[in-house]
Amino acid sequence: MSKPALGRGLGALLGGTPVISNPAPAAPFPTTAIHVVPPPAAPPTLMPSPAVGDHVRRVAVTQIRPCALQPRKDFSTESLRELADSIREQGIVQPLIVRAQGNNFELIAGERRWRAAQLAGLTEVPVLVREADDRAVLEMALIENLQRENLNAIEEALGYAQLVSQFQLTQELVATKVGKSRAVVANAVRLLKLPADLQGFIRDGRLSVGHAKVILGLTEEAQQRVAAERVIKEALNVRQTEGLVAKLQTRDGARARNGAKTPRTTDAHVASLENKIRERLGTKVHLRYAQGKGSLDVSFYSDAELERILQILGINAE
């Protein structure tokens, strides 16, 4: 079953995509609205300068530049070759979305298709030209990649973090714009607290997001690296990783008995429960538990965030 489109979708941001005549059979790649443009028999004359409009036009691939705001950085060589083969047979699936940059164009959506088109030997590609500022470009690029599940977890987290830091958006507003929950955005951004080398393990699939969330229970980078290396070397599952993290935390506790602070938790099940509460509330939490007693600290950073947490808990603040 195909994944439903995200809450907002590219259509809402772009104002719809015009229908292109003579459609070819359905493409092998899922899209929100598929229009097939056969490759031209002969290159048509290009317009002398970029112009904004709702009609599909063809431009030289050499006039198009990748966008620095594009959250996707990793492109599989094998996947690009497969797409290039498909383009040779059927043409470009769905026009690229670009914005004018002087006499050239900057990609908003479709960098993978642009790269594959060059591999396929196309000199021109179909595009739709849109007016968009940097924030809109980043939003559209995020939405397109999320709808196609093309981003790895770190790329997704970096996209969210860029919207927050560069454009001063709250995580809740980011979640609304990309059709995700606030908790999903918050937990994605937490992955960026890991050292760069561990983020690399997530990018290449050696560590899963589930493993990473458990490893984040360790506060020291050195221990996070020890845990990650053990997980990869011994092929530990998430539950086994929880046990490993608990042992490392217990070891910290033994070292801290001479006056240092006590460990955050010494039980794998408590650590797992703390992670589940953190994911549900979408904020920092600290669960203390010992022999049936303890406390739960829930952090919030604004009145609006407190109200959101209360709503999740089913509590009316009035």
Q: Which residues are catalytic?
A: 111
Name 298's Cβ contacts closer than 8 Å, sequence gap at least 6.
Answer: 277, 281, 283, 284, 285, 309
Closest CA to 92 of 76, 111, 106: 111
3-class secondary structure, 108? strand
Return the number of other C-beta atoms located less than 10 Å from residue 297's C-beta: 9
- Which amino acid is present at 260? A
Q: Is 91 left (phi over 0), alpha (psi -120 to 50) or beta?
A: left
CA angle 242, 189, 217 (to 5 degrees): 25
**β-sheet bridge partners, residue 59:** 125
Per DSSP, the residues of 55-70 read S-EEEEGGGEE--TT-
Q: Residue 316 and residue 194: Cα distance in Å, rounded? A: 36
